[in-house]
């Protein structure tokens, strides 16, 4: 599918169209209201916008979905970030007594950025990605999704393509949103296996006993390793990259001839896991703990645009993870173009228009609009995610009312 050449210079024209007719406001509002269980949850949420010419504004907040729409259509943000739910309306934070304005809740989030893997990928570097290294994201998603669900007991995870070189995870469970800074950082550290920066050569060190979490993660990595590392990344393909691999081996066995992938006799306890360590160093997810730690940390919003690539930050359907292609994600130019294509069913709409009020009409139009574009399937993924949360909330309320003998 052609992505329709995207030109950042067109943003000023495309964005207004996007916010007027395509951005899924009603689902977005539904998400952030979380069923209206907590009072003022949406109203006290911070948004931040990056406007044209890199003007950055924080502490934006809105009282209704309508206000959100109007403001976004007026300000036409190039980037949108979502922050925490505060104790008061963020837009009024200056009027609040100093010290009382506090971030209370926020989703637990993770940010996986391909640049963090530059030391282990040969195909690209920095902001570039390709189909060969994208596998790293697939591995990261599988490992983290399993751990967050099975180990930590979370249920409502929204995985989103960042629009350029990574993925984000929004853990939206009630319990997740209420986590303290210490808890968030503990979760992030539990999930971290790669330690060390530029000066560290051997970034993964395993010792007995191997925690079940590591074993689970290894089994994921092993599924992809051969195809990814040996074939696609070709890590044994040049002397330089072979040397890099050998550099990860503990010093005492370098004197032995090494054949990777074959059985090696265990010489001493410290050597037992070198093969696992190498696989993990090449493939295990690298997360930025600082992103996950802060309750007030701002993260790129789903369905926002990435100004450099024009791509929309779309939710990822984990059922189709193996076939997800970041280069197939629609750009704003594509969907705006799709919008302009003539429609077969235009006639009947005119009749219905007169009977509805402005907003409903607007919404209906918008729903029909995005359905005509490549955005449709991604909004569906989002819808299913919202449905699951709604069902679970209903289930909880029934449980509660049963306990209270409320019939």
**Nearest CA-CA partner of 261 in 248, 247, 278:** 278
Does residue 212 interact with other proteins by CB under 8 A? yes
What DSSP element (H or E) covers 137?
helix 131-146
Determine the size of the site formed for other proteins (CB under 8 A).
21
Beta-strand ranges (E) seen in 165-208 are 166-171
Question: Nearer Cβ to other proteins, position 34 or 154?
Answer: 154
The Cα 5–Cα 118 span in angstroms is 28
Contacting residue, 118, 189, 252, 402, with other proteins by CB under 8 A? 189
Q: How far is the CB of 379 from other proteins (least distance, A)?
A: 30
Question: Nearer Cβ to other proteins, position 4 or 392?
Answer: 392
Contacting residue, 179, 229, 249, 283, with other proteins by CB under 8 A? 179
What DSSP element (H or E) covers 155?
none
251 assigned to active site = no
For tokens 């967050």, the residue is 148
Does residue 295 interact with other proteins by CB under 8 A? no
Question: Nearer Cβ to other proteins, position 209 or 342?
Answer: 209
Which stretch in 6-14, 209-217, 318-326, 367-375 sits in contact with other proteins by CB under 8 A?
A: 209-217
Question: Nearer Cβ to other proteins, position 212 or 261?
Answer: 212
User: 326: how many CB neighbours lie within 10 A of its CB?
Assistant: 22
Q: Looking at residues 213 to 272 of the shown chain, list those that interact with other proteins (rule: CB under 8 A).
A: 213, 215
Q: Looking at residues 91 to 150 of the shown chain, list those that interact with other proteins (rule: CB under 8 A).
A: 150
Contacting residue, 37, 51, 55, 175, with other proteins by CB under 8 A? 175
Six token digits for residue 197: 């920066």
The residue annotated as part of the active site, out of 69, 105, 113, 277, is 113
What phi and psi, each to the nearest 5 degrees, are found at residue 207? Answer: -145, 165
Query: C-alpha distances in angstroms, 264 versus 50, 207, 259, 267, 275?
Result: 55, 18, 8, 9, 9
The Cα 84–Cα 82 span in angstroms is 7
13 assigned to active site = no
Question: Nearer Cβ to other proteins, position 186 or 231?
Answer: 186
Does residue 384 interact with other proteins by CB under 8 A? no
The Cα 71–Cα 81 span in angstroms is 15
113 assigned to active site = yes
Does residue 2 interact with other proteins by CB under 8 A? no
Which stretch in 12-20, 211-219, 273-281, 372-380 sits in contact with other proteins by CB under 8 A?
A: 211-219
Q: Name the β-bridge partners of 161.
A: 167
Does residue 273 interact with other proteins by CB under 8 A? no
Secondary structure, 3-state, 28-76: HHHHHHHHHCCCCCCCCEEEEEEEHHHEEEEEECCCCHHHHHHHHHHHC
Residues that bind other proteins (CB under 8 A): 150-154, 175, 179-180, 182-183, 185-187, 189-190, 209-213, 215
Tell me which residues are annotated as active site.
46, 111, 113
């Amino acid at each position: 599918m052609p992505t329709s050449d995207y030109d950042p210079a067109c943003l000023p024209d495309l964005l207004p169209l996007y916010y007027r007719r395509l951005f899924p406001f009603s689902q977005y509002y539904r998400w952030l209201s979380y069923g209206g269980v907590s009072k003022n949850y949406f109203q006290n949420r911070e948004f931040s916008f990056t406007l044209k010419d890199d003007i950055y504004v924080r502490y934006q907040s809105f009282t209704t979905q309508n206000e959100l729409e109007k403001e976004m259509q007026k300000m036409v943000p190039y980037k949108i970030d979502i922050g925490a739910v505060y104790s008061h309306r963020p837009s009024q934070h200056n009027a609040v007594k100093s010290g009382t304005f506090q971030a209370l809740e926020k989703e637990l989030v993770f940010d996986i950025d391909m640049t963090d893997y530059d030391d282990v990928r040969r195909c690209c570097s920095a902001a570039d990605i390709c189909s060969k290294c994208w596998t790293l994201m697939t591995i990261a998603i599988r490992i983290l999704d399993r751990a967050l669900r099975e180990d930590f007991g979370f249920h409502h995870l929204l995985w989103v393509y960042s629009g350029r070189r990574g993925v984000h995870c929004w853990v939206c469970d009630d319990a997740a949103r209420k986590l303290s800074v210490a808890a968030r950082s503990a979760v992030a550290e539990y999930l971290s296996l790669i330690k060390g920066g530029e000066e560290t050569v051997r970034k993964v060190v395993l010792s007995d006993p191997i925690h079940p979490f590591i074993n689970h993660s290894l089994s994921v990595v092993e599924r992809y390793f051969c195809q990814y590392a040996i074939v696609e990344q070709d890590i044994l393909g040049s002397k330089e990259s072979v040397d890099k691999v050998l550099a990860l081996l503990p010093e005492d066995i370098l004197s032995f001839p090494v054949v990777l992938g074959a059985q090696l006799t265990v010489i001493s306890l410290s050597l037992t896991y070198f093969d696992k360590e190498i696989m993990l160093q090449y493939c295990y997810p690298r997360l930025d703990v600082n992103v996950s730690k802060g309750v007030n940390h701002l993260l790129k919003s789903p369905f926002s645009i990435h100004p450099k690539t024009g791509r929309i930050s779309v939710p990822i359907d984990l059922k189709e993870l193996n076939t997800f292609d970041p280069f197939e994600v629609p750009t704003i130019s594509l969907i705006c173009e799709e919008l302009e294509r003539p429609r077969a069913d235009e006639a009947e709409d005119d009749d219905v228009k007169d009977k509805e009020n402005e907003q409903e009409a607007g919404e209906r139009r918008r729903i029909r609009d995005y359905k005509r574009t490549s955005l449709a399937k991604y909004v569906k993924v989002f819808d299913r995610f919202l449905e699951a949360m709604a069902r679970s909330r209903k289930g909880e309320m029934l449980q509660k009312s049963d306990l209270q003998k409320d019939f």
